[in-house]
Protein backbone atom coordinates (compact mmCIF):
# COMPACT_ATOMS: atom_id res chain seq x y z
CA UNK A 1 0.00 0.00 0.00
CA UNK A 2 2.91 2.33 0.71
CA UNK A 3 4.30 1.87 -2.82
CA UNK A 4 0.86 2.38 -4.27
CA UNK A 5 0.42 5.66 -2.39
CA UNK A 6 3.73 7.03 -3.65
CA UNK A 7 3.06 5.94 -7.24
CA UNK A 8 -0.31 7.64 -7.22
CA UNK A 9 1.20 10.77 -5.67
CA UNK A 10 3.84 10.76 -8.41
CA UNK A 11 1.12 10.49 -11.05
CA UNK A 12 -0.81 13.45 -9.63
CA UNK A 13 2.39 15.49 -9.31
CA UNK A 14 3.28 14.82 -12.97
CA UNK A 15 -0.18 15.82 -14.10
CA UNK A 16 -0.05 19.05 -12.13
CA UNK A 17 3.32 19.99 -13.61
CA UNK A 18 2.49 19.04 -17.20
CA UNK A 19 -1.00 20.46 -17.57
CA UNK A 20 -2.89 23.62 -16.86
CA UNK A 21 -6.11 23.42 -14.92
CA UNK A 22 -9.14 25.65 -14.96
CA UNK A 23 -11.69 25.70 -12.14
CA UNK A 24 -14.46 23.17 -12.66
CA UNK A 25 -17.64 23.78 -10.65
CA UNK A 26 -18.61 20.10 -10.98
CA UNK A 27 -15.52 19.14 -9.03
CA UNK A 28 -17.28 19.97 -5.78
CA UNK A 29 -19.94 17.38 -6.64
CA UNK A 30 -17.44 14.73 -7.76
CA UNK A 31 -15.13 15.18 -4.78
CA UNK A 32 -17.31 13.30 -2.25
CA UNK A 33 -17.68 10.39 -4.69
CA UNK A 34 -13.92 10.09 -5.18
CA UNK A 35 -13.22 10.45 -1.47
CA UNK A 36 -15.87 7.85 -0.58
CA UNK A 37 -14.30 5.41 -3.05
CA UNK A 38 -11.15 5.29 -0.89
CA UNK A 39 -13.04 4.27 2.22
CA UNK A 40 -12.46 0.64 3.04
CA UNK A 41 -15.54 -1.43 3.60
CA UNK A 42 -15.51 -4.95 4.99
CA UNK A 43 -16.30 -7.65 2.45
CA UNK A 44 -19.58 -9.45 3.13
CA UNK A 45 -19.16 -13.11 3.96
CA UNK A 46 -15.74 -12.76 5.63
CA UNK A 47 -16.03 -13.32 9.39
CA UNK A 48 -12.74 -11.69 10.39
CA UNK A 49 -12.98 -7.89 10.12
CA UNK A 50 -9.24 -7.30 9.54
CA UNK A 51 -9.15 -9.89 6.74
CA UNK A 52 -12.36 -8.47 5.23
CA UNK A 53 -10.83 -4.97 5.17
CA UNK A 54 -7.54 -6.26 3.70
CA UNK A 55 -9.44 -8.00 0.91
CA UNK A 56 -11.34 -4.82 0.13
CA UNK A 57 -8.14 -2.74 0.06
CA UNK A 58 -6.50 -5.26 -2.29
CA UNK A 59 -9.63 -5.29 -4.49
CA UNK A 60 -9.59 -1.48 -4.62
CA UNK A 61 -5.90 -1.42 -5.51
CA UNK A 62 -6.48 -4.05 -8.20
CA UNK A 63 -9.33 -1.99 -9.64
CA UNK A 64 -7.33 1.25 -9.58
CA UNK A 65 -4.31 -0.25 -11.28
CA UNK A 66 -6.44 -2.14 -13.79
CA UNK A 67 -8.89 0.61 -14.76
CA UNK A 68 -6.78 3.76 -14.59
CA UNK A 69 -4.29 3.57 -17.42
CA UNK A 70 -2.64 7.00 -17.70
CA UNK A 71 -0.22 6.07 -20.50
CA UNK A 72 -3.20 5.22 -22.72
CA UNK A 73 -4.19 8.91 -22.61
CA UNK A 74 -0.95 9.95 -24.32
CA UNK A 75 -1.34 11.04 -27.95
CA UNK A 76 0.04 8.65 -30.56
CA UNK A 77 2.56 11.29 -31.58
CA UNK A 78 4.02 11.66 -28.07
CA UNK A 79 7.82 11.48 -28.30
CA UNK A 80 9.18 8.25 -26.86
CA UNK A 81 11.84 10.08 -24.82
CA UNK A 82 9.57 12.82 -23.47
CA UNK A 83 10.07 12.81 -19.66
CA UNK A 84 6.34 13.06 -18.94
CA UNK A 85 5.49 10.21 -21.33
CA UNK A 86 8.33 8.11 -19.90
CA UNK A 87 7.07 8.70 -16.37
CA UNK A 88 3.51 7.71 -17.28
CA UNK A 89 4.74 4.54 -18.96
CA UNK A 90 6.88 3.72 -15.93
CA UNK A 91 3.92 4.24 -13.61
CA UNK A 92 1.84 1.93 -15.77
CA UNK A 93 4.59 -0.71 -15.71
CA UNK A 94 4.78 -0.47 -11.92
CA UNK A 95 0.99 -0.75 -11.74
CA UNK A 96 1.25 -4.06 -13.57
CA UNK A 97 3.67 -5.33 -10.95
CA UNK A 98 1.38 -4.22 -8.13
CA UNK A 99 -1.58 -5.95 -9.79
CA UNK A 100 0.41 -9.20 -9.79
CA UNK A 101 0.99 -8.89 -6.04
CA UNK A 102 -2.67 -8.15 -5.43
CA UNK A 103 -3.70 -11.16 -7.51
CA UNK A 104 -1.37 -13.39 -5.50
CA UNK A 105 -3.05 -12.23 -2.31
CA UNK A 106 -6.62 -12.35 -3.61
CA UNK A 107 -6.15 -15.83 -5.10
CA UNK A 108 -4.17 -17.23 -2.17
CA UNK A 109 -5.03 -20.58 -0.64
CA UNK A 110 -5.98 -18.81 2.62
CA UNK A 111 -8.87 -17.11 0.83
CA UNK A 112 -10.06 -20.19 -1.07
CA UNK A 113 -13.05 -20.75 1.28
CA UNK A 114 -14.14 -17.16 0.56
CA UNK A 115 -13.64 -17.21 -3.23
CA UNK A 116 -17.16 -16.00 -4.12
CA UNK A 117 -16.97 -13.13 -1.60
CA UNK A 118 -13.53 -12.12 -2.88
CA UNK A 119 -14.68 -12.23 -6.52
CA UNK A 120 -17.75 -10.13 -5.67
CA UNK A 121 -15.57 -7.55 -3.89
CA UNK A 122 -13.17 -7.31 -6.85
CA UNK A 123 -16.02 -6.98 -9.37
CA UNK A 124 -17.72 -4.33 -7.23
CA UNK A 125 -14.55 -2.27 -6.87
CA UNK A 126 -13.80 -2.56 -10.60
CA UNK A 127 -17.29 -1.31 -11.49
CA UNK A 128 -16.97 1.58 -9.01
CA UNK A 129 -13.54 2.70 -10.25
CA UNK A 130 -14.45 2.31 -13.94
CA UNK A 131 -17.49 4.54 -13.45
CA UNK A 132 -15.53 7.22 -11.58
CA UNK A 133 -12.70 7.14 -14.15
CA UNK A 134 -15.10 7.28 -17.12
CA UNK A 135 -17.00 10.18 -15.51
CA UNK A 136 -13.77 12.06 -14.91
CA UNK A 137 -12.56 11.47 -18.48
CA UNK A 138 -15.86 12.56 -20.00
CA UNK A 139 -15.76 15.65 -17.77
CA UNK A 140 -12.50 16.73 -19.42
CA UNK A 141 -13.69 15.83 -22.92
CA UNK A 142 -11.99 12.46 -23.35
CA UNK A 143 -14.29 9.74 -24.67
CA UNK A 144 -13.03 6.20 -24.46
CA UNK A 145 -13.35 4.08 -27.56
CA UNK A 146 -13.76 0.81 -25.69
CA UNK A 147 -17.25 0.07 -24.43
CA UNK A 148 -17.29 -1.88 -21.19
What mean pLDDT, rounded, does the chain reach? 83
95 domain residue, yes or no: yes
**CA atoms of 134 and 93, how far apart (whole Å):** 21
Q: Which domain holds residue 135?
A: 2-19+27-139
12 domain residue, yes or no: yes
pLDDT band (50, 70, 90) for residue 148: very low
pLDDT at 147: 47
145 domain residue, yes or no: no
Mean pLDDT of 29-49: 87
45 domain residue, yes or no: yes
pLDDT at 23: 67
CA distances from 129 to 49, 71, 83, 84, 126 (A): 23, 17, 27, 24, 5
Mean pLDDT of 25-30: 76
148 domain residue, yes or no: no
Residue 86 pLDDT greater than 80, yes or no: yes
146 domain residue, yes or no: no
Domain total in the chain = 1
Residue 79 pLDDT greater than 80, yes or no: yes
User: What pTM, to 2 d.p., does this model score?
Assistant: 0.73
Amino acid sequence: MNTQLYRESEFVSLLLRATSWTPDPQLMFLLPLWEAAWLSRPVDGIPERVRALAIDMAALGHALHGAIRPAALLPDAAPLLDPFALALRKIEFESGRLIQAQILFLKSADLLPFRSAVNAAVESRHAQVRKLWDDMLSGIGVERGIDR
